[in-house]
Amino acid sequence: MRLEISQTQKQIISPVIMQTLELLTIPTVELTEKLEQEAEANPVLELEYPQDKKETVPSQSEDILEADEVEHTKDNFTDSSDTGYDTPSQKKSEFRDYDKQDFIENLSVEEINIYDHLMEQIHFMTLDAVEQEIAEIIVTSLDDTGFLTIDPEKLIVPGKFTLEQFEKMRQTIIKLDPLGIASRDLTEFLTIQIEERHGKRSIEYRIITRHIDLLEKKLYSKIARKMNVQFEDVVRAVENIKKLNISPAVNFSREAVKYIVPDAKVEVQENKIQVILNDEYIPNIKFNKYYLDIYTQAKDRETRGFLKENIDRAKILVENLKSRKEIIFKVILKIVEKQKDFFLKGVQYQMPLKLKDIADELSIHESTVSRAIKEKYIQTDRGIICLKQFFSTQVGNDDVSSKSIKEILKKIVEAEDKNSPLSDDKIVRLLKNRGMNLSRRTVAKYRAELNIQPAFMRRNPL
């Protein structure tokens, strides 16, 4: 008999890290609800809504100067939580019931429906007239759940665009916020979410793309055999699949609105950019004096153990909230720094930006940056902008910024000497000087899409 021992290594994520990641991903408008759930489960915790704060804690802010100079305040983040005894309530039920209602009613947020939300993002894309028309057709043809169920053949305008052009635009819109909007069906929508969260090599992805028929029948053992993986791994993957959204527009409808609270405000005055973190809508966490006193005085081991566990949980929550605030602010600050010309000069100066660019400079993982920008917004003089709009999106096979490159190329050609027009190779070098590494073939492609003729045809006649 031969004994085979196989060793497997699994990454175990602690509950503390799980909470950190969860808080980082949650948008500001949902954070209050999460904190209320924590306070409901932990008698040591109390929430202080903005109207009740005895002193207003100034929001974190940072100036980005016109030159490449940033005033760093890395260690000056203010912890808005309070571990003191300013609120001597003895029971959580003694909190005024109207605190929460007043807080909610006074929220100054932007209301937006799915159509406006998508069209705002499309506005930042460089589209010609035909592409713009296709985008509007797709957005206006979505059903109330965000799926595009209408046969594309019925949406095509004969003589204006092809089925291939339509599908290319649909694939672009799918990557907008909310992710997966305009999916054909639930399978495609689930696949998109899994690819984003777990990657194409994950068990979840393989189940959805190869064994969805077995998944629907709950034949988990058969899935495990076909995939040559452990049954427990399949069960765990199925649980992750169950956590996915089942409709792209789950937070939207044609009539209903989604509430957006900007996470920061970006102000531009006299070529100077200031970033102000907006945390005024997040309740402060306070420790209940009554239970703290019981903990210090109690002699009963069970009582002390129960309260110590909840006090430790509360302290961890405070630290995780502080970490969330710091990471989001650092990421926003770095994005604004990288996109400085966008804010100072205009949309055409938006630069291609990748998660890796921010992650490397902040010495954090790309997934952390991804979580930090998910459903996060900034208030600007151009309106409320989703942070994801500053990052590169896949259009065809080229990784480009959705707005800037074509605009810059167009302006370069407009400013050229018509007696000696720029060749595609020269345009490549000029773009490289601006930090955009494009091939000559890509430049020629974009030039053609902008209806700009080759250099020899742009030359003034002698």
Residue 94, φ and ψ in degrees, nearest 5: -80, -10
Alpha helices (H) along 68-162: 98-105, 114-123, 129-140
Three-class SS of residue 398? strand
Distance CA 445, CA 447 (A): 5
What pLDDT was estimated at residue 54?
43
Task: Identify whether the C-beta of residue 241 lies closer than 8 Å to the C-beta of residue 186.
Answer: no
pTM score, two decimals?
0.52
What pLDDT was estimated at residue 304?
87
Residue that finishes a domain, picked among 327, 347, 380: 380
Crossing angle for the helix pair 203-210 and 186-197, nearest 10 degrees?
160
Instruction: Give me 296's structure tokens.
Output: 């210090």
Task: Identify whether the C-beta of residue 103 lies closer than 8 Å to the C-beta of residue 283.
Answer: yes
Are 374 and 414 in a shared domain?
A: no
Instruction: Residue count of the chain, please give it.
Output: 462
* 91 burial via Cβ count (<10 Å: 0-12, 13-18, 19+): exposed
Instruction: Give me 401's structure tokens.
Output: 């910024």
Pairing of strands 264-269, 377-380: parallel
Domain of 366 in residue numbering reads as: 15-108+261-271+278-380
Instruction: Give me 237's structure tokens.
Output: 């993957």
Are 359 and 423 in a shared domain?
A: no
Quick check: is 192 in a domain? no
Q: Tokens 């000696």 label which residue?
A: 420
Quick check: is 224 in a domain? no
Q: What is the pLDDT of residues 115-142, one digit of tens each?
A: 778 887 887 777 888 888 898 889 888 8
Are 374 and 308 in a shared domain?
A: yes
Instruction: Give me 202's structure tokens.
Output: 């994950």
Task: Identify whether the C-beta of residue 177 lies closer than 8 Å to the C-beta of residue 188.
Answer: no
- Residue 216's CB is within 10 A of a number of other CB atoms, namely 8
Quick check: is 388 in a domain? no
Are 369 and 412 in a shared domain?
A: no
Residue that finishes a domain, picked among 313, 347, 380: 380
Residue ranges of the chain with per-residue pLDDT less than 70:
1-15, 50-112, 252-259, 347-348, 392-404, 433-435, 462
Quick check: is 59 in a domain? yes
Q: Which helix (H) or strand (E) holds 239?
A: helix 231-242
Are 366 and 266 in a shared domain?
A: yes
Residue that finishes a domain, picked among 330, 349, 380: 380
Q: What strands lie across the sheet with 272-277, from one edge to the other? A: 61-64, 272-277, 264-269, 377-380, 383-386
CA atoms within 13 A on the CB side of 396: 9
Are 415 and 376 in a shared domain?
A: no
Are 369 and 298 in a shared domain?
A: yes
CA atoms within 13 A on the CB side of 289: 9
Q: What is the pLDDT of residues 33-62, one digit of tens each?
A: 889 888 888 888 888 876 554 443 344 656
Residue 434 CB partners (closer than 8 Å, separation 6+)? 351, 408
DSSP 452: P
The CATH number of the domain where 433 resides is what?
A: 1.10.10
Residue 13, φ and ψ in degrees, nearest 5: -100, 125
Quick check: is 73 in a domain? yes
Residue 63 pairs with which residues in a beta bridge? 274
* Total domains, the chain: 2
Are 351 and 422 in a shared domain?
A: no
Are 314 and 414 in a shared domain?
A: no
Are 38 and 90 in a shared domain?
A: yes
Distance CA 165, CA 195 (A): 24
Quick check: is 335 in a domain? yes
DSSP 1: -
Residue 67, φ and ψ in degrees, nearest 5: -75, 175
What pLDDT was estimated at residue 161?
87
Are 266 and 351 in a shared domain?
A: yes
Residue 350, φ and ψ in degrees, nearest 5: -65, 130
Distance CA 55, CA 51 (A): 10
Mean pLDDT of the chain: 77
Quick check: is 145 in a domain? no
In the chain, the largest separation of any two C-alpha atoms, in whole Å, equals 100
Distance CA 244, CA 114 (A): 19
Q: Tokens 């091939």 label which residue?
A: 439
Q: Tokens 């028929």 label which residue?
A: 213
Are 420 and 373 in a shared domain?
A: no
Crossing angle for the helix pair 203-210 and 220-227, nearest 10 degrees?
110
Quick check: is 173 in a domain? no
What pLDDT was estimated at residue 184?
92
